[in-house]
Structure 1
Amino acid sequence: MNLFERLYDEQENVKVQFIGFTTDDVRYDFGIVYTNMFFGKPLVICMQTGRSALLCADDVSNVDHIQKVFHIQSAKEAEDLATFFEKTLPTMPLEPQY
């Protein structure tokens, strides 16, 4: 009897970008994993907190989501981070997921 039903088990060579930057108030260190999994959305990992999210440039227009995902205290910091991601992350074509 199997306890787990494996949904996927893929191996892939991926591009990883590490970016450290500062705003007027905060330092950030992120790893961005560009993969074909997850409909091509990059996996964005905060290297300071370990929090991560699948994001593309289209997702960062929702500043509240960025603030919630990365547990950012101020709206200004979230807006600064959203602006950075908007310029850094790729846009994704609209495709049905299933």
Structure 2
Amino acid sequence: MHDNVLKVYQCDDSDLFAAESAEQAATLYRDMTGDDPEYGYPRELTDAELDAPQPEFDENENRTGGTTSVRQMLAEHGNEPGWLAGSDW
């Protein structure tokens, strides 16, 4: 269990990571892709971005017709840092 609160960082044009810091988000991104994030990333999402409606997907990555938010995804993600979402969040 981590004592720090997870935040959401955009690490490229499409991938979001739950992490305790920008440095940790960069490490998670590097571990997943084998590359360092490009200049300007990772970038912490703003409150407006966290709360903006997003299309909801099922476990097979099909749209459900519902909506969610990045903040809701983070709440459902749990306390472990890692990849949160990608593509057209």
Task: Report the TM range for the smaller structure's normalisation.
Answer: under 0.3
Return the index of the structure with the highest Cα Rg: 1
TM-score, normalization by structure 1: 0.24
Q: Higher relative CO (CA 8 A, sep ≥ 6), structure 1 or 2?
A: 2
TM-score (norm 2): 0.26
